[in-house]
Amino acid sequence: MTTKKKSITIIAFIACLIAIALWAVYHSHEKNEGDRQLDNALAERFDEIMDDAFPLIENYAVAMNERADSIEALAKRAKEDIRNAYRESFSTLWQQYANSDKATNYYVLIEEYEFFKLSPIIEMLVNSGSKREKEADAIKKLTLAGELLKEPYRIEYDSLMNASKQVHEVVTDCMQTMEPYRNNKSNIRAWRDLMIPKH
């Protein structure tokens, strides 16, 4: 192979490498720009949904805090009951609490949140891209925390007290994270309107 042909081959090879590098840079820029646009759109959607969903999330957090407080108090009383076994005593106390007006009011909130958990609306909130990752995680943790105290009469004292403490911590963290979304709305069912198609 002559020197001239070698030079042409090398130049062609270098030109191909430059073209590939330029394509990679352009493609990477386009992908990053697409990712940024998607993140912005998901963040905007999150903010719009939270405008209607915040009253339910806030009230659910309050209900979980109150439930944790009540469970702690009942568990301590049951533990001090020297006449009956802990589980038996706690079950009796829990039944009395569950039939109270206070518990019934919180039960309504908890049931509404159970419905919310099964809706596509919560999926949109927890899948909101990197710009709302902290907020999405707070909602996920709050939702999981509610499961910890679902059947307190089945849990032993120490585990129940730990679960209660965990719920308090999650609720506090969640509401601090969600504070910027606080608004004057109070309708805990307002989020349901988001499922109605707009014409």
pLDDT mean over 29-40: 73
Quote the strand ranges of 28-96, DSSP E. none
Looking at residue 169, its pLDDT comes to 96
* CB contact at 8 A, 50 and 183: no
Q: Which residue has the higher pLDDT, 184 or 22?
A: 184
Q: Taking the model in full, what pTM does it have?
A: 0.80
pLDDT mean over 25-53: 80
* CB contact at 8 A, 178 and 57: yes
pLDDT tens for residues 4-24?
A: 666 667 666 665 556 566 556
Looking at residue 2, its pLDDT comes to 63
Looking at residue 44, its pLDDT comes to 93
